[in-house]
Amino acid sequence: MDRPAIILGVLGYFLIVLAIGVWAVGRTRSPSDFFIAGQRVGTFVAGLATMSAAFSGFVFMGGPGLTYRMGVSALWIVIPVGVTPAMLCWVLAKRLRSLGRTRELFTVADAIAVRFDSPAASGLAAVALALGSLAYLGAQILALGILLQVVFGWTALGPALVVGLLVLLTYSVLGGMVAGVYTDLVQGLFMIAAAAVVFVQALRRVGGWTSLSENLSRSELFGEQFLEPLGRAPVMTAFGFFFVFGVGVLGQPHMLHKFYMLKDVTRLKWMPLILGSSQAVCLLLWLGIGLAVPSLVAAGRMAPLADPDRATPTFILAHLPDALAGLVVAAVLSAIMSTADSFLNIGAAALVRDLPRAFGRPLRRELLWARVAVCGVGLAAAVLAYGSGDLIALLGTLAFGTFAAALAPSLAVGMNWRRVPAAAAIASIATGLISTVVLQIVTRQTSIDWPPEGVRPETISLAASFTALFLVTAMVKPGPGEPADDVAEVVGA
């Protein structure tokens, strides 16, 4: 690539995250430091880290591409941001953080183990965490490799994957979540700055909102339906997105994990504001590029995209000045790497902490094994990414649904209703895991005319998992298996 400002932007960004990794080494002396940053994180840092971990490369790369394909109907995925920040804090954040005052909680599986006092429930949760993390991570590493390949003009994907993985592993192994959360902060700031600038630039390029909507409405390729929320998505798809991405956040470990890191529970007061406002600003990039590129195509100022997922890089390279393009590429890298470092940590924790504890055999040198596991998980995900091509991207999109269906009901209801027994949590997690896999296979069979039009498999899995939880709770009589006193106090009536 003959755009030195973009290459400088990438190299500068890599230097910053590596420097944070080196700085964090001396602050990572225990498993608590490695997994939950020693519970020394303030609200602002935790809020931005949650946002940057939640918004992966999908929001900055896949989102605009999806909008190009299905119009503003794609926004149903992100509209739930209106309710999710406050919902996360009301339903789970305070309870998870409060439980962490009396119990040693590093992971989501820890919370399930403490709440339900059941190795089977926490073991199943650990399986979901390990599989989902590998899939999520694989998709991020693949996206990282492809972006570096484009920036540096490499013909092969392999070297790009190696470079990206090396940077990611260096700061993640050295500094654990201390490095993770502070790189997430820097990455979040990059993302906010880039999103705001790109939105303004995108509107200017198309000549404002009126010109944008006129271009799209007159276009044969896009048409009036492009700007209708239910124009290109059946009702069940649109509101299914709202349900899964709205309620499903309650099962996303990379977001919940950040609540453990807070200094104390009083810091939560401003968390929804920081999380919600930063998410809203970052979504401007999705909205800006997602609408500007089709409008430019409709006006004949840009060729139709053969691959809609290239909407973001195409816009960056063709319509942004060099310095700004460097910032935006760094922001896209940030979106990818902030999610990836969270899943390296969560995947490693599932292997060296959650699964051994579920089998009653906790490891002695957890910090050492955690660092080894981070390398192992990273390498496994990179091999999966390199070998699987499109399949890993598919797995990446499935990972959100898997976490949602397997973990959200037990956590959301179980942490707020003492009556939920371990058997109900086990049934819900198992239903979520199994139905996700089975439905993904069923919906790909052309010979089976089900589910009905517009119904997505992850929607069915999430509704089924909630149903299983309530059904088993209703069937099991209250009695033995009540949570311990300190847990019951947090869970409430």
Partner 1 sequence: MKRLGLVFVGIASPVMLLACVVGGPLAGRVFALLAVLFPIALIGLGTSRLSRRAGLRVALAGVGLLSVASTVGLLTLEGRPGLSLLLMICGLGLVPLIVLVTAYAATFDEASR
Question: Could you tell me which residues come within 8 angstroms of residue 363 by beta carbon, excluding any fewer than 6 positions away?
Answer: 352, 353, 356, 369
236/437 with CB nearer partner 1: 236
The one-letter amino acid code at 227 reads L
53/464 with CB nearer partner 1: 464
Q: Which long-range contacts (CB under 8 A, 24 or more apart) does 87-92 make?
A: 87/246, 87/249, 87/250, 88/249, 88/250, 88/255, 88/256, 88/272, 88/275, 89/268, 89/271, 89/272, 91/250, 91/412, 91/415, 91/416, 92/250, 92/256, 92/259, 92/411, 92/412, 92/415
* DSSP class of 230: T
**Least Cβ distance, residue 469 to partner 1 (angstroms):** 8
**Least Cβ distance, residue 491 to partner 1 (angstroms):** 9
Alpha helices in 57-156 (DSSP H): 57, 63-70, 84-88, 94-102, 108-116, 119-152
**Burial class of 102 by CB neighbour count within 10 A (0 to 12, 13 to 18, 19+):** middle
**Least Cβ distance, residue 486 to partner 1 (angstroms):** 10
20/92 with CB nearer partner 1: 92
Question: Could you tell me which residues come within 8 angstroms of residue 312 by beta carbon, excluding any fewer than 6 positions away?
Answer: 60, 61, 64, 65, 285, 289, 332
Distance, CA of 24 to CA of 322 (rounded, Å): 32
64/276 with CB nearer partner 1: 276
**Least Cβ distance, residue 467 to partner 1 (angstroms):** 5
**Least Cβ distance, residue 430 to partner 1 (angstroms):** 16
**Least Cβ distance, residue 89 to partner 1 (angstroms):** 6
**Least Cβ distance, residue 262 to partner 1 (angstroms):** 13
Q: Are 493 and 420 in contact (CB under 8 A)?
A: no
338/473 with CB nearer partner 1: 473
119/229 with CB nearer partner 1: 229
322/482 with CB nearer partner 1: 482
Pull the structure tokens for residue 261.
């890191």
